[in-house]
A = this chain, B = another copy of it.
Amino acid sequence: MTKQEKEKRLSDWIFKYSAYFMALNVINFDKMTVAPEGGNQYIDDRAAFLSGELFSIQSDPDMIELLRELKDDDEIDPDYKRMSELYYEEAMKLQCVPKDVFVEWQKLLYTSHNHWLDAKKKSDYSIFEPYLKKVIAMQKQIIEYRESDMSVFDQLLSDYEPGMTEKKYDEFFNALKGAIPDLIKKVNAAKPVDDSIVYLKYDINGQKKYMKELLDYLHFDKSWSYQGETEHPFTTWLCKNDCRTTTKYLEDNAISAILSTVHECGHAWYAHNVDDKYDGTILLDGVSYGMHESQSRLCENYLGRSQAFWENNFPVLKRIFPDQLGQVSLDDFVKAVNVSRPSLVRTEADELTYPMHILIRYEIEKGLFNGTISTEGLDKTWNEMYKKYLGVDVTSDREGILQDDHWADGCLGYFPTYALGTAFAAQFMHKMRQEIDVDDLLRNGHYDKVMGWLKDNIQHYGRRYDADWVIQHATGEPFNPKYFIDYLTDKYTKLYNLE
């Protein structure tokens, strides 16, 4: 084959791959957002079958040969070379798994999600436990086919965040543990900031009305985006001009849907901002899960909780909820939005206690994979760890072990990327503030220009480079968690007038 023929063959294969991938993505989005429960079994069986069809494409031995060749070929287009390398890695992870096992795995994940949802509705972990047990066992089985020297958990961690291992995450979390628990203690001992206004009754129709304004403010343009509703908010994209987020409204919380929307739109902006030429390929996916979370968490916390953001948004929210907010000053509202208080639910957590929520999940995942923790009684383990790390009493499975859907969906080893990404974000934010007047842009409704900085420095490259390259490129230095720790220390010292 000539160079052109090889490139043609690769791009034809990528197209076919992308068609199946898109179909499964739409089926999943549909299932999460609108499909009635009655069709679950029917749809899940067929979606699992189609995953098998995609599996056969992804692990096609002829393509593996070609990819192996292309990834080491310095003559071909460097984008194709990078894609080949990534597709090859993926193929090698799949080709060792028997197809029928893979299809069973997909079926199990669908079933497990259904039972998680049911268990969460009923706030009863015992409904979900047998499926979680199966998911973990089968995840192990699937990883073990690779016959790698790395532990199963290290392989999972590195699937989500290339290069990361338990050892490296331990170091990272130790760095956080050296500062955050102390800071939490000081905040807890300080004079509380009143945030009761956040937890009044905010009628959901009103919240939806404000949501339209917020999506406008975020420049979340309907020509390339869509927002649905789900039990657990998430983001997905069919292509760079079809990015979807979901949100969830809580009647007794003014900011939950708002900050979750700003978070999910951060993911969506990332996908939308990737270079056009990567659309439909593995390079659209972004550097890593940690890098994706860095963008969403940056939006949620570093932008969405800022004074400048609310200078623009608070008057609009106030107009919709005059009874609740009419007498509240901007300063008091922003303070309330930034209160730190140990709590039960990760997605509602403030920036300071958030890493502790992740740490708990990370410790549990470690235990599940090294055999020191079992799914039986995991609700109790969960509750004990919340008591230990955050000092709170978990009163229901719904707000305890069942709050997140990640494990139900087979995303084991994903959680640590949230904390890592949040720390990446601190470093990006530090640099961004040196280069553009973020507050001025947020204040004046130029959220798109803030996204522009992220696009130029990070998002534009898609998955073309790795996380180390991107961090170095965007900030001029390697990743350093001190930016995150400094940010938290500075922020909460000021907010709570600490020593």
Contacts and interface: CB of A to CB of B under 8 A. Distances in A.
A476 interface: no
A268 to B, nearest CB: 11
Given A16-B49, A23-B23, A39 B241 contact: yes
A124 interface: no
Given A30-B30, A34-B228, A18 B46 contact: yes
Contact of A36 (B18, B27, B242, B279): B242
A36 B239 contact: no
Nearest to A19: B46
Nearest to A49: B19
A137 interface: no
Contacts of A239: 39, 42-43
Given A23-B23, A27-B26, A30-B26, A223 B46 contact: no
A202 interface: no
Contacts of A145: none
Contact of A38 (B15, B26, B33, B242): B242
A76 interface: no
B34 A226 contact: yes
A19 B103 CA distance: 14
Interface residues of A, number: 40
Nearest to A222: B36
Interface string A1-37: 0000000000000011011101110110110011111
A257 to B, nearest CB: 18
A280 interface: yes
A223 B40 CA distance: 10
7 contacts: A19-B46, A19-B50, A20-B50, A23-B26, A23-B27, A39-B239, A42-B239
Given A19-B50, A38-B223, A43-B239, 12 more contacts: A15-B46, A19-B49, A22-B27, A23-B27, A23-B46, A26-B26, A29-B30, A34-B244, A36-B222, A36-B224, A42-B239, A43-B238
